[in-house]
Amino acid sequence: MQTILITGGTGVIGRELSVKLRSKGYRVAILSRTTKKNADIPHYYWDIPRKMIEEEAIETADYIIHLAGANIGDKRWSKQRRKLIIDSRVESANLLFDKISEARKKPKAFISASAIGYYGTTTSDKIFCETDSPANDFLGETCRLWEQAADNFEKMGIRTVKIRTGIVLSKQGGVLTKMLIPTKFGIGSAIGSGRQYMPWIHIDDLCRIYVKAIEDTQMNGAYNAVAPDQPTNKDFIRTLAHVLKKPFWAPAIPSLAMKIMFGRMSSLLLEGSRVSSDKIIASGYNFLFPSLESALTDLLVKK
């Protein structure tokens, strides 16, 4: 039985991915601030500031999936928060690299989360693909440094995959649960211009892409994890209202209101371009939920 060591394993994606991996016969272990050696999913201790990881966690890992990182949309982007967002991703990856460098056994692959924020917060007609350069803004720089830390594993001779993830749709938390509240009350409306695109992915597809990254030895480098269907914000909310059989509220939430409420972080809501899914499809991946309506119906309607 092969062991998958996951950082950020207690988050929305980590929990779902752990279930998926165990159903396929993998042993899953998690790096955590608490130790639970005898649990169904063992927790091994790590402390990033003190540069500590239990040796057993590294020595028993056949694959490492690096999901750890402070939530980008959780709080306003103060200077301290921006530093935490970057450090939580980069310093954790650097710690893993240092410990793996010292270990007798090296993992077969290092699979790191990344984000479509790599391409920046901008609204344009361009469809971004994996060969494009990182944007010169906060999210672009964050993802560049995040992926640069992951690339160190490739230099060590470890197969390295970077999953640039769009908006993850899940019943267990995240953007969708926040969007549901006004829509359920019949006041769902577009944000700002409503013309910004919203590249998204159903959490089941995202987990299956991570499994593919483990099992497909031909996967290397960056892959966009986004569904082929990428609506504008206005069309996203309209589809959500349709699936819930609720009215779509025509007046949009003004951009100025979002900027006052969220500061620089409002760019997450007000801007967005399309992102290509061609590379992951060309690798042989078939989406379970290629359209937004099918994904929302599965998450919100089906029992």
| Residue range 92-151, pLDDT digits in tens | 999 999 999 999 899 999 999 999 999 999 999 999 999 999 999 999 999 999 999 999
Rounded-to-integer distance, Cα 160 and Cα 170, Å = 26
- Going along the chain from its start, the domains and CATH numbers come out as 3-170+202-227+275-289 (3.40.50.720)
List Cα–Cα distances, 70 to 29, 60, 67, in angstroms: 20, 26, 10
In terms of pTM, does the model score above 0.75?
A: yes
Residue 261: what pLDDT? 65
> DSSP 3-state assignment of 37?
coil
| Residue range 70-107, pLDDT digits in tens | 988 888 889 999 999 999 999 999 999 999 999 989 99
CB neighbour class for 116 (10 Å; exposed up to 12, middle 13-18, buried from 19)? buried
User: At CA 104, angle to CA 103 and CA 106, rounded to 5?
Assistant: 75
97 in Cβ contact with 149 (< 8 Å): yes
State both tokens at 46: 């790590």
